Amino acid sequence: MNSIRTCKYCGELVIWIITKNGKPTLCDASEVRYKSLASGPEVFVTEDGRIVRGREVERGGDGLVHRPHFASCIGPNADKINSQED
């Protein structure tokens, strides 16, 4: 299981997930429900590292996923977020 840490730019809880392509991706630690859509407006990362497209939903949906943290980070230097530093 991936360990939860604090983003050094904004202070929010984050988690590193290794994608199926082997790329470490910093994601929000909290999970959201999503509805899978092939050309969906949002990109999510599953706990096992799959990249999926869709949209966030409040109920139902196709499962729980993590949002890549670069999409929500509001801290200074957030553009550096996907470097492999933690």
Q: Which of 15-19, 23-27, 80-84 is least confident? A: 80-84
CB under 8 A, 24+ apart: contacts of 52-61: 56/32, 57/33, 58/33, 59/33, 60/33, 60/35, 61/33, 61/34, 61/35, 61/36
Most distant CA pair in the chain, distance: 35
pTM: 0.84
pLDDT of residue 81: 64
pLDDT of residue 86: 44
Q: Which of 19-28, 65-74, 75-84 is least confident? A: 75-84
Kindly calculate the radius of gyration of the chain based on its CA atoms and give it in whole angstroms.
13
pLDDT of residue 76: 75
